[in-house]
A and B are shown apart, each in its own frame.
Chain A
C-alpha cells in the first residue's frame, strides 16, 4: 500500500516527468490537494503565485514564448478557471503551447450547481486545442502525458485539464509514460514530394518573389533552415508581427514588417510580386486587409503545418504541408541558387519615403513632447538591440514592434491574434523566467498596464527583473487614433485620469521614475537598464500621437495612410 500516492502527487510528478520546473498559479478550494502536494516538491518545481488567474495564463504564455517550452498554469474551479479563459484564448490564437490545470468540484457534485462549479470544459472547448475532464486519480498520468503531447506537437496550442477534487485525493500506483501517438491526431502532415518539387520550381522561376514569414518558423525552430533558404534564393523577406525576430532586423534580405502598421515596402510589394511565399503564417486580416484586392497578381506558395490554414483566406497555387523545418530544407535542396538584387533594390525607395515622412520625425524629433518611437528606439539601443521585447496592446505595441530591433529569435512576446490588453505585465514576468539571462523590456500603455497592474505584486514577491516602460499619453491611444481618423474626432470614453504610477511602483518596492523632458530621457533609460532588478519608467508622451503608416481596416494593402505627407 505504501507505494501508492495521491492523484495530486501523481500530477506533480507527471509534470516533473514532462520537464516542468516553473508553474504560474493561484490556489482555491477545488485545487487545494494539488497545492498541498506541490509543497513537498519545492526543490524540483517552483510555483509562482500570481495576483489574478489571467496573469497566470499570460505569464505561462510569456514563459513558453521565450523558452520554447510548454507554459503551465494552476487555477481553481469556477471563477479561477473562468478568469483563465482570456489567456487560454490568447494562446489559442497565437499557437502558444500551454497546459492549464484547473481544479473542479468533486465528481459527485458535478452538474449540481455546486459552490464554485462551472462547466469549464464546455466553456473552454472552442478556445483550446484539447480540453478534458479527469474524474478519477488513475487517469491523471496518462491525461497529463496526452496534454503535453498535444500542446507541444504540430501547431502548438493550449490544453485544459479539469481535475475533480476526488480525483486529486484518490490513491494510485504511479507510473508515467510519455505520449507519442494518438490515433485520431496527426500533428505533422507527411511531406508530399510533389508539393516540394512544385514549390522549388516556382521559386526558381520567380522574377519578383516575396517571402512572408510568420511565427511558424519560430515555433518550428526553423530559423536556420529559413536563413539557408533565403540566402540561397536571395528573396526579399517580410515578417508578420509574431514572425519578428525569426531573422535579425539587420539581415540584408529583411525588408520589414507586414500589416496594418507595417512598413510601406512589403505591403506595397505584396501587390507587385509575382510569387508570394508564405511561411508559417496565416494571412490574418491585419496582414491582408481586403482579400479581394490582396496579391491577386501573384502565384501563392503556402508552407504550413496546419491543413486548415491552406486556402482559408488566400487561395494557394502550391501548398507545402508539413513542418517548415523539414519542408524548407527540402525545397532549398531542389531550388536554384538565385539573386534578386534589382527587385530587392525596389524596396529602398519605399523605406526612404517611410523614413522621410514618418520615421525620422518619430525617432529623432527635436522639439515638442516626447514621441513613443524615440523612447522605444533609445531603449532598444540601450539594450544593444538584444533584449526581449514584451508589449501590451495598442499604439505603443505597434510602435514597439516597428522600432525595436532584434538580433536573436524568440525576442518578441506580444498578443497578436487576440489583441489582449493587460497581456503585457504578466507576460513579461513569464518571459523573464523563460529567459533569465536576457534583459526583458515591457512597453505598455497607461490603459493596458492598469488592466493587470496587480501583477506588480508578483514582481515584488519573486524579485523578477523586468524593465517596465509605460508610454503614458493619458489616452486609450489606439481607439483615440481611430476616433480621430474615422469617428470625426469624437473622443468618446478614451481619456484617462491616471494614478501616479511611481507611487504605485513605490508601494510595491519597485524603483521608478517619471520623465517628460527630452533632455532627461537618455539618463532615465540608462538608470533603468543599469538598475539591478525591476524598474518602472513612466514616460509622458505626446497626447495625440499617431501610429503611421496605417492601412485602414478592410482596405487594400496599397491604401496606406502616412499622416502628414
Chain B
C-alpha cells in the first residue's frame, strides 16, 4: 500500500433529507473509511457544512470530491491537508470522583493538558479537552493509566482554512446574479 495522507473534505450543501447518505456513499464506493465526520449549519441560513476526514491519496481524493460536487444539492466541496488548516476536536472524559481525589495530582494534570473541569459531583468528574487528535488521545491514555476513564467521547474534526475568507456567499451571489441576468 502506498502512503496515505489525512485529508479534510469540506462540503457545503442544501439542508436536504438524505444528503448525508449521498455523500457517504461516494466514499463507500471507493472503499474509503471515514475517520471523522461533523455536520452543522453554516454561517449562511439553510446551508449545512460537512467536515469529513479520510486517509487517502491525492488522486483518489480529487475524484471523490468531484463526485460529491456533482450531486445536485451540493453547493461546493473541496479538500485540504492539515498544513492548510486550523483544526480542532473536542473530547470529554468521565472519571470516578473518589479515584480522581485519590491521585492528588489533579491540578498538575489539568494544567499540563490545558483541560477544563465541567462537572464535579459525588459520583463523577467530567473533564473537557480541545485539541488535535494526538492531544486528546494523550490525555485519554494518561488518565486511563492513572485512574481509569469511565466514559470517553471525542467529536469529529472542525476546521477552518488559513487562506482567504470563506467565499461561498460570494459564489452564491454570483450564481443568483447570473440567473437574474439571463
Q: Indicate if the CB atoms of A181 and B75 lie closer than 8 Å.
A: no
Segment at the A interface, from B104-112, B116-124, B147-155, B172-180: B172-180
Segment at the A interface, from B16-24, B32-40, B93-101, B130-138: B16-24
Q: Indicate if the CB atoms of A308 and B18 lie closer than 8 Å.
A: no
A150 to B70, CA, bound (A): 12
Residues of B within 8 A of A125 (CB): 18, 21-22, 25
Segment at the B interface, from A126-134, A226-234, A363-371, A486-494: A126-134
Residues of B within 8 A of A312 (CB): 63, 66
Q: Indicate if the CB atoms of B18 and A184 lie closer than 8 Å.
A: no
Residues of A within 8 A of B17 (CB): 121, 133
A284 to B165, CA, bound (A): 39
Question: Considering the complex, which residues of chain A in the window 103-126 have a beta carbon less than 8 Å from any beta carbon of chain B?
Answer: 121-122, 125-126
Chain A proximity of B168: nearest CB distance (Å): 11
Residues of A within 8 A of B172 (CB): 183
Q: Which of B18, B22, B25, B72 has the most CB of A within 10 A?
A: B72
Which A residue's beta carbon lies closest to that of B26?
A126
Residue A542 CB within 8 A of the other chain? no
The answer to whether A185 and B21 touch (CB under 8 A), given A180-B182, A311-B62, is: no
Q: Indicate if the CB atoms of A121 and B18 lie closer than 8 Å.
A: yes
Q: Indicate if the CB atoms of A184 and B14 lie closer than 8 Å.
A: yes
Q: Mark B68-86, 1 if CB is under 8 A from A, else 0.
A: 0110111100000000000
A150 to B73, CA, bound (A): 11
A503 to B87, CA, bound (A): 71
Residue A306 CB within 8 A of the other chain? yes
A131 to B18, CA, bound (A): 9
Q: Indicate if the CB atoms of B69 and A307 lie closer than 8 Å.
A: yes
Residue B13 CB within 8 A of the other chain? yes
Chain A proximity of B77: nearest CB distance (Å): 11
Chain A proximity of B176: nearest CB distance (Å): 7
Residue A182 CB within 8 A of the other chain? yes
A122 to B74, CA, bound (A): 17
A510 to B175, CA, bound (A): 55
Q: Indicate if the CB atoms of A185 and B69 lie closer than 8 Å.
A: no
Residue B57 CB within 8 A of the other chain? no
Q: Indicate if the CB atoms of A150 and B176 lie closer than 8 Å.
A: no
A306 to B70, CA, bound (A): 8
Question: Considering the complex, which residues of chain A in the window 305-338 have a beta carbon less than 8 Å from any beta carbon of chain B?
Answer: 306-308, 310-312
Q: Indicate if the CB atoms of B72 and A184 lie closer than 8 Å.
A: yes
Residues of B within 8 A of A306 (CB): 70
Residues of A within 8 A of B175 (CB): 183
A129 to B75, CA, bound (A): 15
Residues of B within 8 A of A308 (CB): 63, 66-67, 69-70
Residues of B within 8 A of A311 (CB): 62-63
Chain B proximity of A131: nearest CB distance (Å): 8
Chain B proximity of A340: nearest CB distance (Å): 34
Chain B proximity of A187: nearest CB distance (Å): 10
Chain B proximity of A81: nearest CB distance (Å): 15
A150 touches which of B29, B66, B72, B182 (Cβ 8 Å): B72
Which B residue's beta carbon lies closest to that of A159?
B72
Q: Indicate if the CB atoms of A183 and B25 lie closer than 8 Å.
A: no
Question: Considering the complex, which residues of chain A in the window 168-194 have a beta carbon less than 8 Å from any beta carbon of chain B?
Answer: 180-185
Chain B proximity of A212: nearest CB distance (Å): 21
Q: Indicate if the CB atoms of A182 and B72 lie closer than 8 Å.
A: yes
Which B residue's beta carbon lies closest to that of A155?
B70
A274 to B156, CA, bound (A): 48
A279 to B172, CA, bound (A): 31
Which B residue's beta carbon lies closest to that of A313?
B63
A185 to B72, CA, bound (A): 5
B75 touches which of A150, A180, A183 (Cβ 8 Å): A183
8 A–B contacts, CB within 8 A, in A order: A122-B18, A125-B22, A130-B73, A183-B175, A308-B69, A308-B70, A310-B66, A311-B62
Query: A: which residues have CB within 8 A of B?
Result: 121-122, 125-126, 129-131, 133, 150, 180-185, 306-308, 310-312
19 additional contacts (CB under 8 A) given A125-B25, A129-B72, A184-B13: A121-B17, A121-B18, A125-B18, A126-B22, A126-B29, A130-B73, A133-B17, A150-B72, A180-B179, A180-B182, A181-B182, A183-B75, A184-B14, A184-B75, A307-B66, A308-B66, A308-B67, A308-B70, A312-B63
Which 6 A-B pairs rank lowest in CB-CB distance, beginning with the nearest? A308-B66, A181-B179, A184-B75, A130-B72, A185-B72, A308-B70
